[in-house]
Structures are given as structure tokens and as C-alpha cells.
Amino acid sequence: MSTFTPLENQVLAAIDRDADELIRISRNIHANPELGYQEFKSSALLKAALKKRGFAVEDAAADIETAFVASAGQNAGPTIGILAEYDALPGLGHACGHNLIGTAAIGAGLALREVIDALPGKIQVIGTPAEEGGGGKVLMTQRGVFERVDAAMMFHPGDETAIRTASLAATTCEVHFYGKSAHAAAAPEEGINALDAVIQTFNGINALRQHLRSDTRIHGIITHGGQAPNIVPDYAAAKFRIRAADRKYADEALEKFKRCAEGAALATGARLEFKIIESSRYDNMISNNAMESLFADNLARLGIPSQINLSGGGLGSTDMGNVSQVTPAIHPFLKIASRGTAPHTDGFREAANSDEGQLAMLNAAKAMALTALALIQKPELLAAAKQEFGNR
């Protein structure tokens, strides 16, 4: 175990002192899962803890009811953002461990609050709703929240501890087809089958796959397929997510996908309404190497072994990618479950409430607090992160 400076020891001791309260908050959020943009209880619980310790809390940040920005420290120096997530999944609750993410963020913030007034800088705990497809950070980035942040970080629970996060750029869109109803047996020739257009869209995508880059993912569901089998469907709809390793190619794949839907409309005679969910435009994550190294060193000092990359080859998407496009950022993982326990499963939900999950949350709070403290105390470290970001 490494030797810590007096200020670092003060920060670490604060997290140890607050551990029971932080675990109570984490488990409270876990027991009361709320979907994106509906996290009223969870955000209120986190804000109350911050306000109690003297943070100035901006409610409804970026005009989002359940978003917040809690600030403490000096305006003259750099601002380090620690990001909280707290939304749950439909039907699965906190099967992605956002109860741990949100609580670790306030744990780090509360610890730094004890020393920040004596330091040349500011700490912000930023509450970011609706990561699970709702794009809270997308909207907050577009509305300028992170323009004031010199570096940003968060942690995510996983089945291993890894420092670097890669993610796919993603866009969610809906296709709505409008046809003409008719009796499916007595007079089908009088109808225009909107469901056929949806099915042909899927078939077009499957034919398109061989002409897309290997990192591209297009997947979707039928959200409306008709009312009864003896009625030609006059309305059908589907929802898709289009992903790729970078935003430029993700947008190219989106245009190719749109042509599949347009072709299906032309072939069937149905009218197409194509809708892009703007808040779903998740950018790919660009993890800052300088900040990664600092975070990894702090984990090692805490006696926590880590690796650089996650072992699995598959990638998902996160709106932390949008933050990483405007300021130096990291999104490391800490282990809360046995290897192979995947997020968005019942097993991962249980792990997010386990003793191992709570310990990982406390360790994440410590590593983030130490990393933020170093970025404020040592200007050369933040300068290196910013130079890397500028040279991308």
C-alpha cells in the first residue's frame, strides 16, 4: 500500500467515515429503480447529500428536470467534473449498476468537499440522467454544461477492473409505415401492407450487412405490427439502433439504413415516416491516456490490481462518449461480479446490490477523488491531459 499525503489521507478517511451512509444511498437507489428522465427520487437523494455538505446545487441543469450540477471550491482554478448516473433499465431495474455510479460520484465529491476550499480549483458533481438510451449527457453537452469542465470522469461497474473504455457511436431511429387496410382474405388486393414494408426493411438491412464495415451494428425491433391477422395492416413501425466505431461512419451507415427503409416503402406503396431520436446520437468514447495513467496509479496505490482494456471484444455505447469529445475524460470499470456476469442481466442486478458491489463503489470513489485532487494540485498533470486532448 502506497504512502499518501496528508490531504490524500484526509480525503480517503472521509470516504471511510461516510461508507455506511453511501452504502445506504446506493441500496436505496437500487431498491427504487427509475427510468430515464424519471429519476426524481434518486436525483433528490443524491442532491440532498451534497447540499447537506455545502455544495451549491443547480437543479434542473440544462433544462432537464432530473439533472443537476453541484459545485464547491474556487472559481479561479480548474474545474474537475465527476459524473453521476442513476437511471435504471425497463423491467430489469439496476442491472447496469447505475446505483453504484451515482453514489461513487457523490462519495468522491463529499470527500473532496473537505479539502477543496484550500485548493486552487473547483469540484463539480454532475448528475446526468437517462444514460440507458435517453441521452442525458448528449443534451447536457449540446447545452454547454461541460464547456466549463476542464476534465471529467466517472466509473462503471463490470466483471473485471479495466482502465480504458472504448464505445461505439450510435443513433436510434424509428420507421413508421402507413398503408391501407383491407380484408386479408376477401380483398387483399385492395390493401397496402405496412407490415410488409417493415419486414422488407429488415430484409434490406440483412442484405446490406456484407457491404458495411465489420464494426457496424444495426439491430431493431418491431414496435407495431398490425391489429389482427385478417386485416391488412395499414400501420406498422419499428425501432432501430445503428452503431459504428466512429461518428462519421455511424452517420454513413445511418444513411444506408434509411435507403433500405425508403426502398421498402417504394416496393410496397406504403408511406414512410423516418424519425431520428436526436438525443440518441451517442458519440464514440475517446479515453484520455494521461488521465487513465493517473487513475490506474491511484488504483494501484489503493492495492487494487487493474488491466488496461476489457477482455471481451464486444462494445456497447455510452453518452459519456459525447463528453469525451468536448473535454478530457475517462470511464474506467471496477469489478463487482464474477467473470462473465454481463450487464443488463438479473445476475448483474444482484451484483449491483451485493457487498462486493458496495466495496467497488467505495474504491471507485477513492480513486476518483485522488485523481481529481491530483489534477487540481499538480497543474502539469492537467496540462498533459489537455495537450493530449488538443492533439487528437
- Cβ contacts of residue 206 below 8 Å, gap of 6+? none
Question: Closest Cα to residue 342, out of 329, 330, 331, 333?
Answer: 333
- Cβ contacts of residue 32 below 8 Å, gap of 6+? 41, 42
CB atoms within 10 A of CB 234: 19
pLDDT in 10s for each residue of the chain, 392 residues: 468 999 999 999 999 999 999 999 999 999 999 999 999 999 999 999 999 999 999 999 999 999 999 999 988 899 999 999 999 999 999 999 999 999 999 999 999 999 999 999 999 999 999 999 899 999 999 999 999 899 999 999 999 999 998 899 999 999 999 999 999 999 999 999 999 999 999 999 999 999 999 999 999 999 999 999 999 999 999 999 999 999 999 999 999 999 999 999 999 999 999 999 999 999 999 999 999 999 999 999 999 999 998 887 667 899 999 999 999 999 999 999 999 999 999 999 999 999 999 999 999 999 999 999 999 999 999 999 999 999 98
Q: What pTM does this model have? A: 0.92
Identify the burial level of 62 via C-beta atoms within 10 angstroms of its C-beta, where 0-12 means exposed, 13-18 middle and 19 or more buried: buried
Share of the chain above pLDDT 90, in %: 95
Bridge partners of residue 231, in order along the sequence = 183
Cα separation, 37 vs 128, in Å, equals: 9
Asked if 167 and 282 touch (Cβ cutoff 8 Å), the reply is: yes
Q: How many helices (H) and strands (E) would you count in the chain?
A: 11, 14
Residue ranges and CATH numbers for the domains of the chain are 6-167+285-390 (3.40.630.10), 169-281 (3.30.70.360)
CA angle 4, 5, 11 (to 5 degrees): 85
pLDDT tens across 298-343, in order? 999 999 999 998 887 667 899 999 999 999 999 999 999 999 999 9
- In angstroms, the Cα distances linking 220 to 64, 175, 212 are 28, 10, 17
pLDDT of residue 341: 94
Rounded to an integer, what is the distance from CA 97 to the centroid of its chain?
11
- Cβ contacts of residue 204 below 8 Å, gap of 6+? 260, 261, 263, 264
First to last CA, the chain: 35
